[in-house]
């Protein structure tokens, strides 16, 4: 029997160790911060435009113990979704106001617009009025 030369396993071990270190370094940034922007789990810009052409009034709501956080978190998730286009709505105009919520609520992205153009939209708008009052925009 002819002796075989010894083969070093060092390159494979180094490669495995390097792979393990790289995988550990690729962890989620959510562990380090709660969400986008300033790192808060709930951070929403609330804006209202009361008439076409007007500049919107804006409030940045960063939840800890700020006014409006309870109202924001108590919103039914369905209110944040646009009205289903197949749903029948009364053709009743409620006014030119438009409210926009943009940001994150409990780490979930939110981009919702509320108006008063018909009965369905008025219902959604009315659902966010407690939030508007809490942040001084109503």
Res. 44: pLDDT tops 90: yes
Alpha carbon distance 7, 5 (integer Å): 6
Structural domains of the chain, ranges and CATH numbers in brackets: 31-134 (3.30.350)
Cβ atoms of residues 42 and 14 within 8 Å: no
Please give the model's pTM, rounded to 2 decimal places. 0.67
- Tens digits of residue pLDDT in 1-39: 565 555 555 455 444 444 443 434 444 333 333 334 455
């Amino acid at each position: 029997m002819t002796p075989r030369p010894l083969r070093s396993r060092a390159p494979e071990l180094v490669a495995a160790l390097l792979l393990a270190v790289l995988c550990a370094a690729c962890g989620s940034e959510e562990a380090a911060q709660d969400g986008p922007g300033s790192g808060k789990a709930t951070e929403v810009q609330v804006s209202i435009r009361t008439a076409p052409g007007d500049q919107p009034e804006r409030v940045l709501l960063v939840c800890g113990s700020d006014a409006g956080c309870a109202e924001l978190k108590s919103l039914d998730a369905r209110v944040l979704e646009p009205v289903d286009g197949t749903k029948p709505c009364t053709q009743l105009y409620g006014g030119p106001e438009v409210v926009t919520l943009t940001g994150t609520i409990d780490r979930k992205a939110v981009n919702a617009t509320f108006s008063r153009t018909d009965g369905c939209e008025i219902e959604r708008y009315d659902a966010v009025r407690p939030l508007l009052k809490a942040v001084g925009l109503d």
